[in-house]
């Protein structure tokens, strides 16, 4: 009998997440019932939204339950199937959670072909983060050639895709990232026209210098001071896509923007959750996969080794220590 290992939420953090908030559990893998598949998870996706679900506060999704395996996206291989749509050796993406094995009834499970792009990419550039970038940029900001698009967390899993898609649309892409190394990567590898270090004491002046013609579209992943500083540069009738507010996820106070700019600039601001738009995922994933396979979309992964490393990797993600997509390799 196979043994499963999983990480459960042991207590709710108030403020910063710590390793003590998780607990490892071992249990036998249950026998499959008709209509189920057993999946060996190969990679686990770590994402900022998980911090919000660790809280009991009302949100767009139900809170993570105490004592239950942490939820999360995974890519893996079917090892046993009693489901007509899946067979052993199929590679699948789903919400397998923070564990080695997952049993699924087929709901939300999607077969993928890793012959063109690496399997891990379906959790990042060709998965949920990539679709998030694709939707927020194309459906909310809708950049036009010659416009300036500003992207916070520019080298993260979402932001790195946004910048490249904005450039391919003929826009000028400016990024915000934490530290000179990330800013250098944004410009030299991802193709941003400029990148500003939000950790610098001259951040406000540097941002102004990088935006001589203002901002036509803002893709916001961070919130906090970078956001309130950025919106002062919004152009008339600009568009703002609110994807995430990671600056406040670890208990830091939320900084409100200057409300007068809403009337003065008359910009459109829209928050979005990409899972509300599942009908668009097939088109987005097909387009992103083609771009990756043909070398037109660059991506980077930060990979932690082993399930035991997941808590520390997640904490590092919230503190901005990763470059690109944060994953955990489970085998």
pLDDT tier, 59 (very low <50, low <70, confident <90, very high otherwise):
confident
Rounded to an integer, the average pLDDT of 231-243 is: 96
Domains in the chain (CATH in brackets) are: 3-123+300-329 (3.90.180.10), 128-275 (3.40.50.720)
38 Rama class: left (phi>0) / alpha (psi -120 to 50) / beta: beta
SS3 274: helix
* pTM value > 0.95: no
Closest CA to 7 of 42, 44, 40: 44
Whether the predicted pLDDT of 202 surpasses 70: yes
What gap in Å lies between CA 46 and CA 325, rounded to an integer?
Answer: 8
Whether the predicted pLDDT of 248 surpasses 80: no
What gap in Å lies between CA 192 and CA 316, rounded to an integer?
Answer: 24
For residue 252, what pLDDT is reported?
Answer: 62
- Chain segment 211-227, per-residue pLDDT in tens: 999 999 999 999 989 99
What gap in Å lies between CA 157 and CA 164, rounded to an integer?
Answer: 12
- Chain segment 17-51, per-residue pLDDT in tens: 999 999 999 999 999 999 999 999 999 999 999 99
* DSSP per position, 11-37: S--SSS--GGGEEEEEEEPPPPPTT-E
Q: What integer best gives the mean pLDDT of the chain?
A: 95
Return all residues near 84 (Cβ < 8 A) that are at least 6 apart. Answer: none
């Amino acid at each position: 009998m196979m043994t499963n290992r999983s990480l459960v939420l042991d207590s709710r953090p108030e403020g910063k997440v710590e390793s003590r908030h998780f607990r490892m559990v071992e249990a036998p893998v249950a026998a499959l019932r008709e209509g189920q598949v057993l999946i060996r998870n190969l990679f686990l996706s770590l994402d900022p939204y998980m911090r919000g679900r660790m809280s009991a506060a009302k949100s767009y999704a139900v809170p993570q339950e105490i004592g239950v395996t942490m939820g999360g996206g995974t890519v893996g291989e079917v090892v046993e199937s009693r489901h007509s749509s899946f067979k052993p050796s199929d590679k699948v993406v789903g919400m397998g959670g923070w564990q080695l094995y997952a049993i699924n009834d087929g709901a939300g499970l999607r077969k993928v072909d890793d012959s063109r792009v690496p399997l891990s990419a379906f959790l990042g550039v060709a998965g949920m983060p990539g679709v998030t970038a694709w939707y927020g940029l194309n459906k909310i900001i809708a950049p036009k050639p010659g416009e300036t698009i500003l992207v916070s967390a520019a080298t993260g899993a979402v932001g790195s895709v946004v910048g490249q898609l904005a450039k391919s649309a003929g826009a000028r892409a400016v990024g915000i990232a934490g530290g000179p190394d990330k800013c250098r990567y944004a410009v030299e590898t991802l193709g941003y026209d400029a990148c500003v270090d939000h950790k610098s004491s001259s951040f406000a002046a540097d941002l102004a210098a990088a935006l001589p013609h203002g901002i036509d579209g803002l893709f916001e992943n961070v919130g906090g001071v970078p956001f309130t500083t950025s919106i002062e540069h919004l152009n008339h009738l600009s568009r703002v896509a609110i994807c995430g507010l990671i600056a406040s996820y670890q208990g830091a106070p939320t900084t409100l923007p200057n409300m007068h700019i809403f009337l003065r600039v008359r910009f459109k601001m829209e928050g979005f959750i990409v899972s509300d738009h599942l009908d668009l995922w097939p088109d987005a994933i097909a387009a992103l996969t083609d771009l990756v396979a043909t070398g037109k979309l660059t991506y980077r992964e930060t990979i932690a080794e082993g399930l035991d490393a997941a808590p520390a990797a997640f904490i590092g993600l919230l503190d901005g220590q990763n470059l690109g997509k944060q994953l955990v390799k489970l085998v």
